[in-house]
Structure 1
């Protein structure tokens, strides 16, 4: 059913795009029924945004079989390094681009557009065997994760007196991850700043397995990965001053899950955006992000937000030079 619906949507988008091209060659090809999209689209970046992009790419290639879309997941920061060197077309990002990354883009004459594709909540999780940690305050999270905690905050009862005198084992994304950057910014107070003695991985599944099997473990990653593994993990409520709140579509949308709710983005290189297959792919992405974002466990944009992002992209491609 999803495939049939998306085929219909794509056919409409492709038809609109071809009509807008206006060239005699395109019209003749369309009349002969031989018009098809060709090319390769390269994507890298956030492991959090990856499942959305993967779902979009899968559906897109079903209806545009001669376009090859490849997506990697080297983390938001790792992706921006490649993106700033013009080594790929699109970067998935779980945080906005940093000033330092923007400067590298500028030095390499890489212009881009930022497009919002959904929302996510960062889930704080423990093992189901952990019977004491049902909620945690922002201040307690900071006490665990700030750089000054290394070598000093070692046991659970140092965080809350009625918790056990057992070692805390911390798990989290690697330092190239946008999830790590966002968490440290809103919890520790400074992006890319935390204690270093934690188990880090860019692969959220590694974190899931590590936390699941250790009753003294606590960690964080995107809500979608908790949703996929809710039967083997325990979600912890986060209290920012108004009582503990669990992340959900509703609490992320209404911003009561604060400060761990965040927007998700894709960044598109202007030279890539000048290519027809990229233009159609990105519009397909935005048109279908509401459905596919929800299917893979994230919080979708509203209809108004989708329309705004599509209009933003349309305006962007009107002001870039045609592809060579």
Structure 2
């Protein structure tokens, strides 16, 4: 993951020059809410902390925003901690009130909503970018150029465990060679979304594969095995193109490769998905600092997402994020499920549910 961030250090350095002109925008409307969060002895110098956890897919974006935030002189010495435990693992901590922001590669689920509600954790939901879940193979693989959604299901559904073990079992024209699978761990939102989109049921998957919540580990495994196939977020392919080869995905309307263009045109289906951050502003002990950080996030995320390798959301979504933040709008518009193939612009104006 750190390699992904380092690659864009120069880009982020240029972005940092302009941060100071935008980071204070749109703060007036919620200044009263933030002021309620001032803590500690006003005469005592403290170092507030923002705690972030969750998705490895969202990690490169959030870590890049953290670097921009820390580049501001007025934020010098402020500690922002970013960890990765997968979307599900992140929500477990977030809904227990242990973190301020949860990175998520899927919307919050019904059970997680109930846990947050039980614990009094009220959250703001901010879509931040689009991702193309990427099917990757080893560059030495010279027989596979595309794969159908039906073949992906045949390969990854629970019934495939211990049975679909060779490439020619997936497609007869492929060679009689063992197939080694790599994919997201079951704490990952990528795992949830992939199984929902491909198998038809969230968390329904064969278990005889190499799982990880760390996408860098998946890249490494696929790059070392000529018989490998795996899936992860598009930015990790962008960072490791020399080590990997893409498979186009055919949903019945022709084989489509993931790209900014195919995601924007809603052609790369059903593996295009929105990415999120969830913010617990009201309960944070460092509300003022968190408010500044979220304002910066909303301001800069489009450019950062593009630099890291994801698809920026339309300006209209950014504007809605501003409105929702300034109004203190809590809850989710996704009804506790992934909403495969839904357009983000159609969902945001809906009334949120907490």
TM-score scaled to structure 1, two decimals? Answer: 0.89
For residues 98 and 191 of structure 1, the distance between their equivalents in structure 2, rounded to whole angstroms, comes to 11
Give the number of equivalent residue pairs. Answer: 308
Q: Classify the secondary structure of the residue corresponding to 2:267.
A: coil
Q: Contact between 1:121 and 1:248, CA under 8 Å: does it hold in 2?
A: yes
User: How many angstroms apart in 2 are the aligned matches of 1:295 and 1:91?
Assistant: 21
Cα drift, residue 65 of structure 1? 1.3
Q: Is the 8 A contact 2:126 2:278 kept in 1?
A: yes
What is the aligned partner in structure 1 of residue 244 from structure 2? 233
Query: CA–CA distance in 2 between the matches of 1:41 and 1:114?
Result: 17
Alignment gaps of 5+ in structure 1: 26-35, 319-324
- Find the partner of 2:27 among 2, 17, 20: 17
Relative to structure 1, the CA distance from residue 21 to residue 123 in structure 2 (aligned partners, 3 Å threshold; closer, same or farther) is: closer
Q: 1:221 to 1:19 in 2, by over 3 A?
A: closer
SS in 1 for 2:23: helix
Verify the 8 A CA contact 2:135 2:231 in the aligned structure 1: yes
Structure 2 gap segments, 5+ residues each:
1-10, 36-44, 331-354
Report the Cα offset of residue 4 of structure 1: 5.8
Q: Which moved more, 1:222-231 or 1:2-11?
A: 2-11
Contact (CA 8 Å) 2:178, 2:227: kept in 1 or not? Answer: yes
> CA–CA distance in 2 between the matches of 1:143 and 1:20?
50
| Contact 1:43 1:90 (C-alpha < 8 Å) held by counterparts | yes
Partner Cα distance (1:107, 1:239) in 2: 42
The correspondence for 2:61, drawn from 52, 64, 69, is 52
Aligned pair partner of 2:307 in 277, 288, 295: 295
How much does 1:210 deviate?
1.0
Q: 1:183 to 1:317 in 2, by over 3 A?
A: closer
Q: What is the correspondence of 1:88-237 to structure 2 with a 5 Å cutoff?
A: 88-237=99-248
- Give the aligned CA root-mean-square deviation in angstroms: 2.4
Within 1, Cα distance between the matches of 2:151 and 2:29?
57
Q: Could you say if the C-alpha distance between residues 14 and 150 of structure 1 is closer, same or farther in structure 2, counting changes exceeding 3 Å? A: same
Give the Cα–Cα distance (whole angstroms) in 2 for the partners of residues 140 and 292 of structure 1.
Answer: 35
Distance of 2:14 and 2:250 partners within structure 1: 43
Measured at CA, do residues 5 and 95 of structure 1 come closer, stay the same or move farther in structure 2, by a change above 3 Å?
closer
The structure with the largest alpha-carbon Rg is: 1
CA distance in 1, matches of 2:15, 2:158: 50
Q: Give the structure 2 partner of residue 81 of structure 1.
A: 92
Distance across 1 between alignment mates of 2:205 and 2:86: 17
Deviation sequence 1:66-115 (CA, Å, 0-9, x none): 32111001000000000010001000000001101111111111111110
User: Structure 1 residues 317 and 245, CA, compared in 2 at 3 Å: closer, same or farther?
Assistant: closer
When residues 58 and 242 of structure 1 are mapped into structure 2, their CA distance, relative to the original with a 3 A threshold, is: same
Question: What whole-Å deviation, never above 9, does each CA across 1:151-199 have from its counterpart, x for those lacking one?
Answer: 2111111111110111111100111000011000000000011000001
Instruction: Return the TM-score normalized by structure 2.
Output: 0.82
Q: SS at 1:271's partner residue? A: coil
1:16 to 1:259, Cα distance in 2 relative to 1, 3 A: closer
Distance 1:255 1:15 in 2: 32
Alpha-carbon distance, 1:274 to partner: 7.6
* Misfit runs of 4+, over 2 Å: 1-23
- Comparing 147-156 and 50-59, the one that deviates more: 147-156
Check 1:152–1:12 CA distance in 2 against 1; reply closer, same or farther (3 A cut).
closer
Paired with 2:301 and 2:14, the residues of 1 have a C-alpha distance of: 16
**What are the Cα deviations for residues 241-289 of structure 1, in whole angstroms up to 9, with x where unaligned?**
1110000011111110000000000001131298111111001001000
Report the Cα distance in structure 1 between the residues aligned to 2:57 and 2:98, rounded to whole angstroms: 21
